[in-house]
Amino acid sequence: MTILLIDCYDSFTFNLKSLIEQATEEKCVAIHNDSFKPDEYESRLVPFLNQFSCIFIGPGPGNPTYSEDVGIIPFVFANSAHIPILGICLGFQVLCYQFGADVEYLKDVKHGQVYKIQVNKENDDFGLFEGCDNFAGVRYHSIHVRNFTDKLIPLAFTVDEDEVDSKVIMAAKHHKFPFYGVQYHPESICSEMGSTLIKNFYRIVKSMRPTTDVELHDPHTILHEPLFNRLNISKSTELQFKRLESALNPIDIVEIFQRYNQDSLLLNSVSSPGTWSIIGLPINYESKVFTHVRTEDQNVLYTHNWKEEKKEKESIDSFWKELAAFMKERYFPQNTIDGIEVPFVGGMLGVLSYEEGEFINFQTLESIGKDIPTSKLCFIERFILKQNNSGTYFICSIKAGDDNWLNESLDRLHVSHDAMSNVPNSLKDLTNNLTIVKPTQESYDSKFDQCQTYLKQGDSYELCLTDQTFIHLDREITPWQVYKVLTKRNPAPYSAYLKFDDCVLISSSPERFLEWDNEKVELRPIKGTVKLSDSLTYKQGCEILKSSKEKAENLMIVDLIRHDLYNFLSEVAVPELMVIEQYENILQLVSVIRGSFKGSTYSGIDILSQSLPPGSMTGAPKKRSVELLQRLENNQPRGLYSGVCGYWSVNNHSDWSVVIRSTFHYPNDNKNTESTNCWRIGAGGAITVLSTADGEYEEMAVKLERALQAFE
């Protein structure tokens, strides 16, 4: 039997799709709620709907009374009396509104909060909630339904003393047609009895509808073509290496190579949980560089060699297709060196900006300079790996016949060097030509109030509002000096020094975004941050992070990431949910989400291409949240901030961190002057209905301080 799921542009849709397929053991097909135009309803939508055994209508942002938010859903209810339907959240609200109930805004909005669901068993004659009673359900809604007509029968409720009617309806059915709905989200990681609910509904379906098995090739269905079908093994690639035992650290090595005019791209795991550092060594006039520039007027890819000017550009349809096409021909399935498993054996290394992600409106996005790169990557053939829990280095090359370079590099590193000696605590110790321009609290409070309006209207569950600080720094101060000071002040597991011709990133990020290999993928979102002090102990900080506000923030992003993975994979797990981790004097609430590529036609690059911007930097639902944030942030690009940096190795192992607690610079930035370069630091936080303006501004200041302390 084939099942239809109507998606309302929610960021939890594929969690629901996976739950449906697991509970029913049947195929589920998804479409967007605006897939059919009104003039197609009778001629195309009706016969399309009749192919399915049942219909699920998913959650989404907006209001059930607004046609632009609900699309085809009212027509579906009005013209499918013979098809069983189960609506979730927005789908439930449309059902109730369609048949005469009132919909009103809650006095106290519930986003990511867990409540007990109680069942009206005497009304549940078909057993939708059979085996379920007094169970936990996650609520994501600002609107509720009241004043049922005789066409609707309530099936479940929750007690909410903040509302006029303390019994808030959580489920209902139509008195005659096989239409059901639930207000809570059964697909959430913290909801109970979700599978039981779906199984019960499907039992009802099978008692009413004939078996259908539809092979659909309809253009309205949500499908993603893999960026490549398989990786082609490069028969010409050979890894050559020299092993070195040394007390040098990766920063020392970069400085030693600088003596020989050798540029470096450094991913430096300065602190736990990082285990390896990677020093990419671009070859002058040989190493391939990819520069993607996306604006209102152009979507172009420059390909050139390191140190050469960008001249040749090509208009492209998809940056991701170009990247995948290049990498699939260079697959080299080696993952060990000298018997030790290593993360990187050559490949792409660089940064992908926030604007490389989905849902950006380039028509209204402001320009901050000429040809600012949206993404910047270099294909690395020479590199050095450092195992951080030992003194072991591997000097490596996948460039044919590179023995002379390997031997020469080994000889260069048989020296003593201490790059971090005499590094000042602040760049102010190196120059007086430094000014800092921070966002004002007045401006922040105004944007915060707008966020609250959107949240209470149901346009979003969570909005990650950010702003930028500008540092005007003496041009004589080099990016390498900036990196050393920041690393001294804020050592981080995902530290990075990435200096390209048209952008520079100095990162001290604590947050992994996404890691993958041929078998699995892992994401580690951070949501919830507390700074310890003399007046705030570890125990008190933990209590704050266990509050309903902080847990709701983290839960929403976990559910969003599960959705991103279920978009491609059938096996997704959450081995760590809301675990408290400590970095220096900062406590953070961290979750781990993993997916398996077993049986999948997709790979990690498919997931990366559809998962940006990182959900922890947008909020949920992602599409609506990104659109709202762009307006709230005055159409200013976030640039490298809120993007990701990392690598994609030719052995198809990849690791990317979220660009936070970082500073970055563009040589073409409009804010540069004759005597100063503009360095930017972005900071922000997730705003929910439980947030306060003062609390969020203070949290933003804590995050800003981690990078800004290098300049103060």
Q: Which residues of 70-95 are buried (b: 16+ CB within 10 A; e: fewer)?
A: bbbbbbbbebbeebbbbbbbbbbbbb
Asked if 496 and 490 touch (Cβ cutoff 8 Å), the reply is no
Distance separating alpha carbons of residues 406 and 709, to the nearest angstrom: 39
Nearest to 662 by CA among 607, 709, 616, 629: 709
Residue among 8, 28, 54, 89 flagged as catalytic: 89
| Secondary structure of residue 629 in the 3-state scheme | helix
For this structure, is 187 an active site residue?
yes
Residue among 141, 185, 304, 563 flagged as catalytic: 185
Task: For the chain, give the longest Cα–Cα distance.
Answer: 86
Q: How far is CA 300 from CA 306, 364, 666, in A?
A: 18, 18, 18
Q: How far is CA 625 from CA 384, 613, 616, 635, in A?
A: 40, 11, 11, 14
For this structure, is 89 an active site residue?
yes
For this structure, is 185 an active site residue?
yes
Distance separating alpha carbons of residues 430 and 419, to the nearest angstrom: 16
DSSP 183-246: SSBTTSTT-SSHHHHHHHHHHHHHHHS---------TTB-----S-S-PPB-TT---EEEEEE-
> Tokens for 361?
């409106």
Distance separating alpha carbons of residues 423 and 482, to the nearest angstrom: 10
Element (H, E) at 20: helix 13-24
Q: Which residues of 414-437 are buried (b: 16+ CB within 10 A; e: fewer)?
A: eeebebeeebeeebbebeeebeee
Asked if 339 and 622 touch (Cβ cutoff 8 Å), the reply is no
Distance separating alpha carbons of residues 592 and 192, to the nearest angstrom: 20
Residue among 8, 111, 144, 187 flagged as catalytic: 187
Q: Which residues of 2-26 are buried (b: 16+ CB within 10 A; e: fewer)?
A: bbbbbbbbbbbbbbbbbbbbebbeb
Active site amino acids: 89, 185, 187
